[in-house]
Amino acid sequence: MASGIAQLAQDLRARKTSATELAQAALARARARADLNAFITLDEAGALATAQRAEGRFANGALVGIPFAHKDIFCTNGVRTTCASRMLENFVPPYDAGVVEHLRDVHAVSIGKTNMDEFAMGSSNENSHFGAVKNPWDATRVPGGSSGGSAAAVAAGIVPFATGTDTGGSVRQPAAFCGITGLKPTYGRVSRWGMIAYASSLDCAGVLARSAEDCMYVLSAIAGHDPRDATSVARGLDNYNAALSTTLQGIKIGVAREYFGAGVESGVAAAVRYALAQYEKLGATLVDVSLPHAHLAIPAYYVIAPAEASSNLARYDGVRYGHRCADPQTLEDLYTRSRGEGFGAEVRRRILVGTYALSAGYYDAYYLRAQRARRVIANDFVEAFKQVDLIAGPTTPTTAFKLGEKTADPLAMYAADVNTVAVNLAGLPAISIPAGFSDGLPVGMQLIAPAFAEGPLLAAAHQFQSATDWHTRSPGA
Protein backbone atom coordinates (compact mmCIF):
# COMPACT_ATOMS: atom_id res chain seq x y z
CA MET A 1 0.00 0.00 0.00
CA ALA A 2 1.45 3.33 -1.05
CA SER A 3 1.38 5.96 1.68
CA GLY A 4 1.09 9.71 1.33
CA ILE A 5 3.55 11.76 -0.70
CA ALA A 6 5.08 13.57 2.30
CA GLN A 7 5.77 10.27 4.07
CA LEU A 8 7.34 8.74 0.95
CA ALA A 9 9.46 11.85 0.39
CA GLN A 10 10.65 11.68 4.00
CA ASP A 11 11.54 7.98 3.62
CA LEU A 12 13.50 8.77 0.46
CA ARG A 13 15.43 11.56 2.17
CA ALA A 14 16.15 9.32 5.16
CA ARG A 15 17.38 6.65 2.70
CA LYS A 16 14.87 4.16 4.07
CA THR A 17 14.00 3.41 0.46
CA SER A 18 15.10 4.51 -3.01
CA ALA A 19 13.26 5.84 -6.05
CA THR A 20 14.11 2.62 -7.86
CA GLU A 21 12.66 0.52 -5.05
CA LEU A 22 9.47 2.60 -5.00
CA ALA A 23 9.11 2.33 -8.79
CA GLN A 24 9.65 -1.43 -8.73
CA ALA A 25 7.14 -1.86 -5.92
CA ALA A 26 4.53 0.22 -7.77
CA LEU A 27 5.10 -1.77 -10.97
CA ALA A 28 4.76 -5.02 -9.00
CA ARG A 29 1.48 -3.82 -7.44
CA ALA A 30 0.18 -2.79 -10.87
CA ARG A 31 0.93 -6.29 -12.20
CA ALA A 32 -0.54 -7.97 -9.12
CA ARG A 33 -3.78 -6.03 -9.68
CA ALA A 34 -4.05 -6.69 -13.41
CA ASP A 35 -7.63 -7.83 -12.60
CA LEU A 36 -8.63 -4.16 -12.19
CA ASN A 37 -7.55 -3.38 -15.78
CA ALA A 38 -6.46 0.05 -14.53
CA PHE A 39 -3.50 0.33 -16.93
CA ILE A 40 -3.28 0.34 -20.71
CA THR A 41 0.53 0.52 -20.82
CA LEU A 42 3.17 -0.08 -18.16
CA ASP A 43 6.49 1.61 -18.85
CA GLU A 44 8.99 -0.31 -16.77
CA ALA A 45 12.10 0.82 -18.67
CA GLY A 46 11.05 4.49 -18.59
CA ALA A 47 10.14 4.31 -14.91
CA LEU A 48 13.45 2.77 -13.90
CA ALA A 49 15.42 5.30 -15.96
CA THR A 50 13.51 8.21 -14.39
CA ALA A 51 13.95 6.71 -10.93
CA GLN A 52 17.68 6.44 -11.55
CA ARG A 53 17.85 10.15 -12.38
CA ALA A 54 15.84 10.98 -9.25
CA GLU A 55 18.21 9.22 -6.82
CA GLY A 56 20.18 11.66 -4.72
CA ARG A 57 18.02 14.67 -5.63
CA PHE A 58 15.43 14.22 -2.90
CA ALA A 59 16.14 17.59 -1.32
CA ASN A 60 14.78 19.25 -4.49
CA GLY A 61 11.06 18.81 -3.80
CA ALA A 62 8.24 16.62 -2.56
CA LEU A 63 7.68 14.71 -5.80
CA VAL A 64 11.27 13.66 -6.57
CA GLY A 65 11.29 9.87 -6.91
CA ILE A 66 7.55 9.47 -6.20
CA PRO A 67 5.87 6.91 -8.48
CA PHE A 68 2.62 7.84 -10.23
CA ALA A 69 0.67 7.18 -13.42
CA HIS A 70 -0.62 9.33 -16.27
CA LYS A 71 -4.08 9.05 -17.74
CA ASP A 72 -3.58 7.77 -21.28
CA ILE A 73 -4.84 11.06 -22.70
CA PHE A 74 -1.54 12.88 -22.00
CA CYS A 75 0.99 12.62 -24.81
CA THR A 76 4.19 10.96 -23.60
CA ASN A 77 7.31 11.13 -25.74
CA GLY A 78 8.16 7.63 -26.94
CA VAL A 79 5.41 5.98 -24.88
CA ARG A 80 2.23 4.81 -26.60
CA THR A 81 -0.73 7.14 -26.01
CA THR A 82 -4.06 5.62 -27.01
CA CYS A 83 -6.81 7.72 -25.41
CA ALA A 84 -8.35 4.23 -24.96
CA SER A 85 -9.29 4.25 -28.65
CA ARG A 86 -8.62 1.81 -31.45
CA MET A 87 -8.06 4.98 -33.48
CA LEU A 88 -4.82 5.68 -31.56
CA GLU A 89 -3.98 2.10 -30.61
CA ASN A 90 -0.45 2.39 -31.99
CA PHE A 91 0.17 6.13 -31.60
CA VAL A 92 3.57 6.94 -30.10
CA PRO A 93 3.81 10.71 -29.63
CA PRO A 94 7.09 12.46 -30.47
CA TYR A 95 6.65 14.94 -27.59
CA ASP A 96 5.50 15.30 -23.98
CA ALA A 97 2.35 17.16 -22.89
CA GLY A 98 2.90 20.24 -20.70
CA VAL A 99 1.73 18.35 -17.59
CA VAL A 100 4.08 15.48 -18.45
CA GLU A 101 7.02 17.88 -18.84
CA HIS A 102 6.30 19.47 -15.47
CA LEU A 103 6.20 16.15 -13.62
CA ARG A 104 9.32 15.00 -15.45
CA ASP A 105 11.11 18.22 -14.47
CA VAL A 106 10.48 17.52 -10.78
CA HIS A 107 11.65 13.89 -11.23
CA ALA A 108 8.35 12.22 -10.38
CA VAL A 109 8.40 8.68 -11.78
CA SER A 110 5.61 7.68 -14.18
CA ILE A 111 5.10 3.92 -14.21
CA GLY A 112 2.67 3.96 -17.12
CA LYS A 113 -0.60 5.05 -18.68
CA THR A 114 -4.00 4.45 -17.14
CA ASN A 115 -7.19 3.17 -18.72
CA MET A 116 -10.05 5.58 -19.40
CA ASP A 117 -13.22 6.03 -21.41
CA GLU A 118 -12.42 6.41 -25.10
CA PHE A 119 -11.49 10.07 -25.77
CA ALA A 120 -12.64 10.79 -22.17
CA MET A 121 -16.28 10.32 -23.15
CA GLY A 122 -18.07 8.47 -20.40
CA SER A 123 -18.88 8.20 -16.73
CA SER A 124 -18.11 4.55 -16.04
CA ASN A 125 -14.90 3.64 -17.86
CA GLU A 126 -16.87 1.05 -19.84
CA ASN A 127 -16.26 2.88 -23.15
CA SER A 128 -12.62 1.80 -23.43
CA HIS A 129 -11.26 -0.10 -26.42
CA PHE A 130 -9.11 -1.89 -23.82
CA GLY A 131 -12.04 -3.07 -21.71
CA ALA A 132 -13.78 -1.83 -18.57
CA VAL A 133 -11.97 -0.94 -15.34
CA LYS A 134 -13.21 -2.46 -12.09
CA ASN A 135 -13.85 -0.60 -8.87
CA PRO A 136 -11.37 -1.77 -6.19
CA TRP A 137 -14.15 -1.57 -3.56
CA ASP A 138 -16.39 -3.97 -5.44
CA ALA A 139 -15.24 -5.66 -8.65
CA THR A 140 -18.83 -5.91 -9.93
CA ARG A 141 -19.06 -2.11 -9.99
CA VAL A 142 -17.67 0.68 -12.19
CA PRO A 143 -14.87 2.96 -10.93
CA GLY A 144 -16.53 5.97 -12.58
CA GLY A 145 -15.15 7.74 -15.60
CA SER A 146 -13.57 8.89 -17.62
CA SER A 147 -10.41 8.82 -15.43
CA GLY A 148 -11.44 5.42 -14.02
CA GLY A 149 -8.05 3.75 -14.40
CA SER A 150 -6.31 6.57 -12.52
CA ALA A 151 -8.91 6.45 -9.73
CA ALA A 152 -8.73 2.65 -9.40
CA ALA A 153 -4.91 2.70 -9.40
CA VAL A 154 -4.83 5.22 -6.53
CA ALA A 155 -7.67 3.58 -4.56
CA ALA A 156 -6.00 0.16 -4.84
CA GLY A 157 -2.75 1.62 -3.51
CA ILE A 158 -0.77 0.98 -6.71
CA VAL A 159 0.42 4.60 -6.92
CA PRO A 160 0.01 7.52 -4.50
CA PHE A 161 -1.32 9.79 -7.24
CA ALA A 162 -2.31 9.85 -10.88
CA THR A 163 -3.13 12.51 -13.42
CA GLY A 164 -6.61 12.81 -14.87
CA THR A 165 -8.69 15.14 -16.98
CA ASP A 166 -12.05 16.65 -16.16
CA THR A 167 -14.30 17.93 -18.95
CA GLY A 168 -17.58 17.36 -17.11
CA GLY A 169 -16.57 15.50 -13.97
CA SER A 170 -14.04 12.91 -15.07
CA VAL A 171 -11.69 13.55 -12.14
CA ARG A 172 -14.26 14.21 -9.41
CA GLN A 173 -16.81 11.50 -10.24
CA PRO A 174 -14.33 8.57 -10.33
CA ALA A 175 -12.64 9.97 -7.20
CA ALA A 176 -16.05 9.87 -5.47
CA PHE A 177 -16.80 6.32 -6.67
CA CYS A 178 -13.37 5.05 -5.57
CA GLY A 179 -13.15 6.82 -2.19
CA ILE A 180 -10.24 9.12 -3.01
CA THR A 181 -9.64 12.86 -3.50
CA GLY A 182 -9.95 14.41 -6.97
CA LEU A 183 -9.01 17.98 -7.85
CA LYS A 184 -10.21 19.85 -10.94
CA PRO A 185 -8.38 23.19 -11.16
CA THR A 186 -9.72 26.41 -12.68
CA TYR A 187 -9.96 26.31 -16.47
CA GLY A 188 -6.68 27.69 -17.82
CA ARG A 189 -4.65 27.13 -14.63
CA VAL A 190 -2.94 24.00 -16.01
CA SER A 191 -1.69 23.62 -19.57
CA ARG A 192 -3.81 21.63 -22.03
CA TRP A 193 -0.90 21.39 -24.44
CA GLY A 194 -0.40 17.77 -25.46
CA MET A 195 -3.56 16.66 -23.70
CA ILE A 196 -5.67 14.98 -26.39
CA ALA A 197 -8.64 17.29 -26.98
CA TYR A 198 -12.22 16.31 -26.22
CA ALA A 199 -14.13 19.59 -25.65
CA SER A 200 -11.54 22.35 -25.58
CA SER A 201 -13.56 25.01 -23.74
CA LEU A 202 -14.19 22.55 -20.88
CA ASP A 203 -11.12 20.25 -20.77
CA CYS A 204 -9.02 20.57 -17.64
CA ALA A 205 -6.07 18.55 -16.35
CA GLY A 206 -6.52 17.38 -12.77
CA VAL A 207 -5.16 15.17 -10.01
CA LEU A 208 -6.34 12.02 -8.27
CA ALA A 209 -4.71 11.20 -4.92
CA ARG A 210 -5.64 10.07 -1.46
CA SER A 211 -5.65 13.49 0.16
CA ALA A 212 -5.96 17.20 -0.55
CA GLU A 213 -2.40 17.59 0.68
CA ASP A 214 -1.17 15.19 -1.99
CA CYS A 215 -3.25 17.00 -4.64
CA MET A 216 -1.55 20.20 -3.48
CA TYR A 217 1.94 18.83 -4.18
CA VAL A 218 0.93 17.80 -7.68
CA LEU A 219 -0.97 21.00 -8.49
CA SER A 220 2.06 23.02 -7.34
CA ALA A 221 4.12 21.15 -9.94
CA ILE A 222 1.72 21.26 -12.90
CA ALA A 223 0.05 24.69 -12.56
CA GLY A 224 1.32 27.64 -14.54
CA HIS A 225 1.19 29.55 -17.78
CA ASP A 226 2.00 27.75 -21.03
CA PRO A 227 2.19 29.93 -24.15
CA ARG A 228 1.55 26.82 -26.29
CA ASP A 229 -2.02 26.67 -24.90
CA ALA A 230 -3.91 29.80 -25.98
CA THR A 231 -6.37 29.46 -23.07
CA SER A 232 -3.66 29.03 -20.44
CA VAL A 233 -3.82 31.97 -18.06
CA ALA A 234 -0.77 34.19 -17.56
CA ARG A 235 -1.01 34.61 -13.82
CA GLY A 236 1.48 34.10 -11.03
CA LEU A 237 1.44 30.92 -9.00
CA ASP A 238 -0.03 30.84 -5.53
CA ASN A 239 1.79 29.17 -2.67
CA TYR A 240 -0.65 26.27 -2.29
CA ASN A 241 1.46 24.66 0.43
CA ALA A 242 1.25 27.75 2.64
CA ALA A 243 -2.49 28.07 1.92
CA LEU A 244 -3.14 24.57 3.28
CA SER A 245 -2.91 25.66 6.91
CA THR A 246 -5.74 28.24 6.62
CA THR A 247 -8.38 27.23 9.15
CA LEU A 248 -12.12 27.06 8.58
CA GLN A 249 -12.86 29.80 11.14
CA GLY A 250 -15.27 32.26 9.57
CA ILE A 251 -15.52 30.38 6.26
CA LYS A 252 -19.01 30.38 4.76
CA ILE A 253 -20.03 27.23 2.92
CA GLY A 254 -23.05 27.43 0.67
CA VAL A 255 -25.14 24.28 0.68
CA ALA A 256 -26.65 24.16 -2.77
CA ARG A 257 -30.24 23.02 -2.41
CA GLU A 258 -30.39 21.78 -6.02
CA TYR A 259 -27.60 19.27 -5.33
CA PHE A 260 -29.81 17.45 -2.85
CA GLY A 261 -32.79 17.12 -5.19
CA ALA A 262 -34.64 14.10 -6.57
CA GLY A 263 -32.37 11.31 -7.75
CA VAL A 264 -29.87 11.71 -4.91
CA GLU A 265 -29.69 8.46 -2.93
CA SER A 266 -30.60 8.92 0.72
CA GLY A 267 -27.36 7.25 1.87
CA VAL A 268 -25.35 9.73 -0.20
CA ALA A 269 -27.28 12.76 1.06
CA ALA A 270 -26.95 11.55 4.67
CA ALA A 271 -23.17 11.07 4.43
CA VAL A 272 -22.70 14.54 2.91
CA ARG A 273 -24.94 16.18 5.53
CA TYR A 274 -22.91 14.46 8.24
CA ALA A 275 -19.68 15.77 6.67
CA LEU A 276 -21.17 19.27 6.52
CA ALA A 277 -21.97 19.06 10.24
CA GLN A 278 -18.29 18.27 10.78
CA TYR A 279 -17.41 21.43 8.83
CA GLU A 280 -19.60 23.41 11.22
CA LYS A 281 -17.75 21.91 14.18
CA LEU A 282 -14.49 23.01 12.58
CA GLY A 283 -15.67 26.62 12.50
CA ALA A 284 -17.39 26.99 9.13
CA THR A 285 -20.86 28.48 8.78
CA LEU A 286 -23.36 26.72 6.53
CA VAL A 287 -25.53 28.93 4.36
CA ASP A 288 -28.45 27.74 2.25
CA VAL A 289 -27.83 28.80 -1.37
CA SER A 290 -29.59 28.23 -4.65
CA LEU A 291 -28.22 27.66 -8.15
CA PRO A 292 -31.53 28.16 -9.95
CA HIS A 293 -30.33 27.09 -13.40
CA ALA A 294 -28.63 23.88 -12.25
CA HIS A 295 -31.19 21.83 -14.20
CA LEU A 296 -29.86 23.31 -17.47
CA ALA A 297 -26.34 22.01 -16.91
CA ILE A 298 -26.79 18.49 -18.33
CA PRO A 299 -28.68 19.59 -21.48
CA ALA A 300 -26.25 22.47 -22.14
CA TYR A 301 -23.17 20.30 -21.52
CA TYR A 302 -24.41 17.47 -23.72
CA VAL A 303 -24.80 19.90 -26.64
CA ILE A 304 -21.58 21.91 -26.15
CA ALA A 305 -19.26 18.99 -25.37
CA PRO A 306 -20.32 16.87 -28.38
CA ALA A 307 -20.25 19.97 -30.64
CA GLU A 308 -16.64 20.68 -29.71
CA ALA A 309 -15.80 16.97 -29.87
CA SER A 310 -17.18 16.66 -33.40
CA SER A 311 -14.79 19.39 -34.46
CA ASN A 312 -11.77 18.15 -32.45
CA LEU A 313 -12.16 14.58 -33.65
CA ALA A 314 -12.38 15.56 -37.32
CA ARG A 315 -8.58 15.28 -37.42
CA TYR A 316 -8.74 11.47 -37.20
CA ASP A 317 -9.26 10.80 -40.87
CA GLY A 318 -7.01 7.82 -41.53
CA VAL A 319 -4.52 10.00 -43.41
CA ARG A 320 -2.15 11.79 -41.07
CA TYR A 321 -2.06 9.43 -38.13
CA GLY A 322 -4.34 7.04 -36.32
CA HIS A 323 -6.15 3.97 -37.56
CA ARG A 324 -6.38 3.47 -41.33
CA CYS A 325 -8.72 0.89 -42.85
CA ALA A 326 -7.32 -1.83 -45.14
CA ASP A 327 -7.42 -1.35 -48.94
CA PRO A 328 -9.32 1.92 -49.25
CA GLN A 329 -11.02 2.14 -52.65
CA THR A 330 -11.75 5.88 -52.73
CA LEU A 331 -11.00 8.86 -50.49
CA GLU A 332 -14.55 8.72 -49.13
CA ASP A 333 -14.15 5.01 -48.42
CA LEU A 334 -10.87 5.74 -46.61
CA TYR A 335 -12.54 8.33 -44.35
CA THR A 336 -15.70 6.42 -43.58
CA ARG A 337 -14.16 3.03 -42.91
CA SER A 338 -11.16 4.39 -40.98
CA ARG A 339 -13.43 6.44 -38.71
CA GLY A 340 -16.11 3.77 -38.48
CA GLU A 341 -13.56 1.15 -37.44
CA GLY A 342 -11.42 3.40 -35.27
CA PHE A 343 -14.10 4.98 -33.07
CA GLY A 344 -16.30 3.13 -30.58
CA ALA A 345 -20.08 3.49 -30.31
CA GLU A 346 -20.20 6.31 -27.73
CA VAL A 347 -17.63 8.41 -29.59
CA ARG A 348 -19.59 7.97 -32.83
CA ARG A 349 -22.77 8.98 -31.01
CA ARG A 350 -21.13 12.19 -29.72
CA ILE A 351 -19.77 13.07 -33.16
CA LEU A 352 -23.24 12.61 -34.67
CA VAL A 353 -24.93 14.68 -31.94
CA GLY A 354 -22.30 17.41 -32.20
CA THR A 355 -22.37 17.60 -35.98
CA TYR A 356 -26.16 17.83 -35.90
CA ALA A 357 -26.14 20.58 -33.26
CA LEU A 358 -23.67 22.64 -35.31
CA SER A 359 -25.34 22.17 -38.69
CA ALA A 360 -26.76 25.28 -40.38
CA GLY A 361 -30.44 24.63 -39.70
CA TYR A 362 -30.01 23.66 -36.05
CA TYR A 363 -27.18 25.90 -34.83
CA ASP A 364 -29.49 28.53 -33.31
CA ALA A 365 -31.89 26.00 -31.81
CA TYR A 366 -29.22 23.92 -30.08
CA TYR A 367 -25.67 25.27 -29.96
CA LEU A 368 -26.53 28.93 -29.46
CA ARG A 369 -29.16 28.11 -26.84
CA ALA A 370 -26.72 25.88 -25.02
CA GLN A 371 -24.20 28.74 -24.96
CA ARG A 372 -26.85 31.02 -23.47
CA ALA A 373 -27.64 28.42 -20.83
CA ARG A 374 -23.92 28.20 -20.10
CA ARG A 375 -23.87 31.93 -19.35
CA VAL A 376 -26.80 31.80 -16.89
CA ILE A 377 -25.31 28.73 -15.18
CA ALA A 378 -22.02 30.60 -14.71
CA ASN A 379 -23.94 33.63 -13.39
CA ASP A 380 -25.63 31.45 -10.74
CA PHE A 381 -22.17 30.78 -9.31
CA VAL A 382 -21.20 34.46 -9.48
CA GLU A 383 -24.33 35.34 -7.48
CA ALA A 384 -23.81 32.54 -4.94
CA PHE A 385 -20.17 33.49 -4.37
CA LYS A 386 -21.31 36.99 -3.33
CA GLN A 387 -22.66 35.29 -0.19
CA VAL A 388 -20.32 32.36 0.43
CA ASP A 389 -16.67 31.29 0.06
CA LEU A 390 -17.35 27.74 -1.13
CA ILE A 391 -20.29 25.69 -2.38
CA ALA A 392 -20.82 22.11 -1.24
CA GLY A 393 -22.95 19.11 -2.13
CA PRO A 394 -22.70 15.44 -3.12
CA THR A 395 -20.25 14.91 -6.01
CA THR A 396 -22.56 12.31 -7.51
CA PRO A 397 -26.22 11.42 -6.87
CA THR A 398 -25.38 7.74 -6.31
CA THR A 399 -22.50 5.54 -5.24
CA ALA A 400 -20.69 3.39 -7.83
CA PHE A 401 -23.21 1.54 -9.97
CA LYS A 402 -22.93 -1.99 -11.37
CA LEU A 403 -20.92 -2.75 -14.50
CA GLY A 404 -23.39 -2.88 -17.39
CA GLU A 405 -26.16 -1.20 -15.40
CA LYS A 406 -26.36 1.94 -17.55
CA THR A 407 -24.62 0.95 -20.78
CA ALA A 408 -27.90 0.48 -22.67
CA ASP A 409 -29.23 3.87 -21.56
CA PRO A 410 -26.96 6.80 -22.49
CA LEU A 411 -29.26 9.36 -20.84
CA ALA A 412 -29.11 7.54 -17.49
CA MET A 413 -25.33 7.47 -17.87
CA TYR A 414 -25.23 11.22 -18.60
CA ALA A 415 -27.27 11.88 -15.43
CA ALA A 416 -24.32 10.58 -13.36
CA ASP A 417 -22.70 13.97 -14.11
CA VAL A 418 -25.59 16.10 -12.86
CA ASN A 419 -23.59 17.76 -10.05
CA THR A 420 -20.25 18.09 -11.82
CA VAL A 421 -20.79 19.46 -15.34
CA ALA A 422 -21.93 22.95 -14.30
CA VAL A 423 -18.52 23.54 -12.72
CA ASN A 424 -16.83 22.97 -16.10
CA LEU A 425 -19.36 25.16 -17.90
CA ALA A 426 -18.39 27.93 -15.44
CA GLY A 427 -14.64 27.13 -15.55
CA LEU A 428 -14.37 26.88 -11.75
CA PRO A 429 -12.08 24.82 -9.51
CA ALA A 430 -13.64 21.99 -7.48
CA ILE A 431 -12.57 19.02 -5.42
CA SER A 432 -14.23 15.75 -4.46
CA ILE A 433 -13.27 14.40 -1.04
CA PRO A 434 -14.21 11.12 0.65
CA ALA A 435 -17.12 11.86 3.00
CA GLY A 436 -18.23 8.48 4.31
CA PHE A 437 -19.93 5.37 3.01
CA SER A 438 -23.36 4.23 1.93
CA ASP A 439 -23.97 0.47 1.96
CA GLY A 440 -20.20 -0.11 2.10
CA LEU A 441 -19.46 2.07 -0.93
CA PRO A 442 -17.58 5.39 -0.80
CA VAL A 443 -19.45 8.70 -0.97
CA GLY A 444 -17.79 11.85 -2.31
CA MET A 445 -18.50 15.43 -1.29
CA GLN A 446 -17.82 18.18 -3.80
CA LEU A 447 -16.51 21.60 -2.80
CA ILE A 448 -16.57 24.33 -5.47
CA ALA A 449 -14.61 27.60 -5.25
CA PRO A 450 -14.42 30.85 -7.23
CA ALA A 451 -11.95 30.96 -10.13
CA PHE A 452 -8.30 30.64 -9.06
CA ALA A 453 -9.24 29.99 -5.40
CA GLU A 454 -7.45 26.60 -5.43
CA GLY A 455 -5.59 27.62 -2.25
CA PRO A 456 -8.71 28.13 -0.11
CA LEU A 457 -10.34 25.09 -1.78
CA LEU A 458 -7.44 22.79 -0.90
CA ALA A 459 -7.29 24.27 2.60
CA ALA A 460 -10.97 23.54 3.24
CA ALA A 461 -10.50 19.94 2.08
CA HIS A 462 -7.29 19.55 4.07
CA GLN A 463 -8.80 20.90 7.31
CA PHE A 464 -11.62 18.36 6.99
CA GLN A 465 -9.14 15.57 6.29
CA SER A 466 -7.06 16.58 9.31
CA ALA A 467 -10.12 15.98 11.50
CA THR A 468 -11.58 12.89 9.79
CA ASP A 469 -10.19 9.64 8.40
CA TRP A 470 -12.49 8.80 5.47
CA HIS A 471 -9.67 9.53 3.02
CA THR A 472 -7.41 6.98 4.72
CA ARG A 473 -9.84 4.07 4.27
CA SER A 474 -8.88 1.62 1.61
CA PRO A 475 -10.68 -1.29 -0.01
CA GLY A 476 -10.08 -4.64 1.64
CA ALA A 477 -8.64 -2.99 4.75
User: Where along the sequence are the contacts to ligand GLN (CB under 6 A)?
Assistant: 120-123, 146, 165-170, 198, 305, 417
* Cβ at position 248, least distance to ligand GLN in Å: 29
Contacts of 453 (CB under 8 A, 6+ apart): 186, 389, 429
* Cβ at position 72, least distance to ligand GLN in Å: 13
Residue with smaller CB distance to ligand GLN, 43 or 166: 166
Pairing between β-strand 441-448 and β-strand 390-394 as defined by DSSP bridges: antiparallel
Residue with smaller CB distance to ligand GLN, 156 or 425: 425
Residue with smaller CB distance to ligand GLN, 39 or 301: 301
* Cβ at position 137, least distance to ligand GLN in Å: 20
Catalytic, 191? Answer no
Q: Say what angle helices 19-32 and 5-13 make with each other, to 10 degrees.
A: 140
Residue with smaller CB distance to ligand GLN, 42 or 120: 120
Cis omega (within 30 of 0) on the bond before 146?
Answer: yes
Residue with smaller CB distance to ligand GLN, 76 or 123: 123
Sequence letter at residue 239? N
Residue with smaller CB distance to ligand GLN, 74 or 464: 74
Q: Which of 170, 191, 220, 310 is catalytic?
A: 170
In 101-250, the DSSP E strands lie at 109-114, 161-165, 181-184, 205-209
Catalytic, 110? Answer no
Instruction: Tell me how far apart the alpha carbons of residues 170 and 153 are, in angstroms, rounded to a whole number.
Output: 15
* Cβ at position 284, least distance to ligand GLN in Å: 28
Order the strands of the 430-438 sheet from edge to edge.
39-42, 109-114, 67-71, 161-165, 205-209, 181-184, 430-438, 441-448, 390-394, 252-256, 285-289
Q: Which of 85, 123, 146, 310 is catalytic?
A: 146
- 190 has which bridge partners? 223
* Cβ at position 153, least distance to ligand GLN in Å: 17
Greatest pairwise CA separation for the chain in angstroms:
70
* Cβ at position 477, least distance to ligand GLN in Å: 29
What 3-state DSSP class applies to 387?
Answer: coil
Instruction: Tell me how far apart the alpha carbons of residues 134 and 113 are, in angstroms, rounded to a whole number.
Output: 16
Q: Are the C-beta atoms of 154 and 180 separated by less than 8 Å?
A: yes
Catalytic, 406? Answer no
What 3-state DSSP class applies to 307?
Answer: helix
Instruction: Tell me how far apart the alpha carbons of residues 394 and 2 are, in angstroms, rounded to a whole number.
Output: 27
What 3-state DSSP class applies to 448?
Answer: strand
Q: Which active-site residues does the annotation give?
A: 71, 146, 170
